[in-house]
Amino acid sequence: MQAMFIDVDGTLSSPCYKVNGKFQIGMSDVQWADYCSKHGEDTYEWCRPVMQVKEYAMKAKEKGTKLYVLTTSGTKIETAAKRRFLDRYYAGMFDDIYAVEHDDDKVRFILKKAAELGIEPSDCELVEDTYRILLQTVTEGIKSTHITTILTAGYSGEAYGSARCQGQSD
């Protein structure tokens, strides 16, 4: 794998937000915009990293894979908050951080980036928690890894379920 793209919300970040004194995993889009506006770069202060995903990505990086964040972000404030979170828990890990406006933009972005890098879509991997988006990557020949594949692999350094799903032997 030459390029790995990893989502933030629900993949690199375990969602946890304090709303009216109570912790919750999320909110409506309107409430989210207000929450981001109110909390600014501290929007992700209660979120924690997903260490299994970090380990999975670092093993790929050790083998020469370029690591990129590919997240959906509705506002500049949200993007800045994600950058602060990434700097806190994943400092120096990623070659670049990209934000798209809608989840459905991720596949087009990866295809464009692959062309810029001079690599095939099959040389790219998306690590994501939204199954619908991963199905879109499958149809384009991009390696697709759902976060649960990493979490349920008993983490041995490689997500065995992903290899099995890609038609590779164990």
From 136, 133, 69, 72, select the one nearest 102 (Cα to Cα).
72
User: Model confidence over 59-84: pLDDT tens digits?
Assistant: 999 999 999 999 999 999 999 999 99
pTM: 0.90
Query: In DSSP terms, which residues pair with 24 in a beta bridge?
Result: 17
pLDDT at 42 over 50: yes
pLDDT at 86 over 90: yes
User: Model confidence over 89-107: pLDDT tens digits?
Assistant: 999 999 999 999 999 999 9
Cα–Cα distance, 114 to 140 (Å, whole number) = 12
Backbone angles phi, psi at 7, to 5 degrees: -75, 160
On whether the CB atoms of residues 7 and 130 are closer than 8 A, the answer is: yes
